[in-house]
Structure 1
Amino acid sequence: MITVFTDAAASGDPGPAACGIIIKEGSSFTEHSFYLGEYSNHDAEFLAVEKALELCKEKYFGDIISIRSDSKTVVEALDQGYTKNKSFQSYLYSIKVLEESFPMVFYKWIPEKQNKQADLLAKKKLHQPKKPKN
């Protein structure tokens, strides 16, 4: 089983957002962070899960995936496969499509103190200077 920790950080609502992802396979792990653009924190939390599943699809296609997040909103929506919030429905759909690459995907809510490394990655990426686009 592959264990994945995700977190997001946003500066404003909406505002610049980034995510941090840690993928653990046995005793080894990889760290990833992405600048996401302008999003609310909840949107960024959904995007963190989406990015994590995209990464897992590349390297761990067909494995069982356990995703840990400190966002109750995200974990509850993904566990139930439903959200009343129309702005989250497209994320839910995209994530459900990605889930088809794996025999099982589990979601577990964890307290923030158990997600410090993913949080640190997200905040570090959020505060990195942005390179100008040519």
Structure 2
Amino acid sequence: MIEVYFDGASAGNPGPSGAGIFIKGNGKAEGFSIPLASMSNHEAEFHAFILALEICLKNEFKIVSFRTDSELVNRSVEKEFVKNNQYKPLLEKALTLSQQFDLFFLKWIPSSENKNADELARKAIQRAQ
């Protein structure tokens, strides 16, 4: 099983943002630090998740466990619902992508267990500024 840790971060709310994605499995580990446009922290979290899903699909990973410290993303995916209309298109895209896996898990983890993805997201912000 592939384990994917993702995090979105913003310097300001909204502000320059970044996505951090750390993938491990099959005896390998790889990190991605992707600059994003100016957006809120919650938007950055959703974008990081979508990018992580797309990377896994591109690499043809079929059984994947995603980990996030974003309660909003975790809860929204679990319930397939988000109150804020601004996040609805992002949730819909994430749900559509997640359905393409043979086995898909999303688990909330504390920030202390998501340090690799957090560091990658912060590096992406520096590159976005």
Kindly state the Cα deviation for residue 33 of structure 1 after the two structures are TM-superposed.
1.1
Question: 2 CA distance for matches of 1:90 and 1:104?
Answer: 23
Match of 1:59 in 2: 59
Q: How does 1:1-134 map to 2 (within 5 A)?
A: 1-61=1-61, 63-128=62-127
Cα distance in 1 between the residues matched to 2:10 and 2:79 = 25
CA distance in 1, matches of 2:60, 2:108: 22
Shift of residue 116, structure 1, vs aligned partner: 0.6
3-state SS of paired residue (2:127): coil
Q: CA deviation at 1:83?
A: 1.0
Over 3 Å counting, the alpha-carbon distance change for 1:124 and 1:104 in structure 2 is: same
2:64 is matched by which residue type in structure 1? Answer: I
Which structure has the larger Rg over C-alpha atoms?
Answer: 1
SS for the counterpart of 2:59 is helix
Partner SS for 2:12: coil
Distance 2:127 2:111 in 1: 22
Mark the runs of 5 or more structure 1 residues left unpaired by the alignment: none
Which AA in structure 2 matches 1:81? E
Residue range with higher mean Cα deviation, 66-75 or 121-130 = 121-130
Shift of 1:124: 1.2
Q: Could you say what the CA RMSD is over the residues aligned between the two structures, in angstroms?
A: 1.3
4+ residue runs of structure 1 moved beyond 6 angstroms? Answer: none
Deviations 1:66-123 (A, max 9, x none): 1100000110001111111111110111111111321222111100110011101111
Deviation at 1:27, TM superposition (A): 3.2
SS of the residue aligned with 2:19?
strand
Q: CA deviation at 1:26?
A: 3.5
Q: 1:27 to 1:97 in 2, by over 3 A?
A: same
Q: Structure 2: how far apart are the matches of 1:35 and 1:128?
A: 6
Size of the alignment, in residue pairs?
Answer: 129
Change beyond 3 A, Cα 1:51–1:28: same
Paired letter, 1:88:
Y
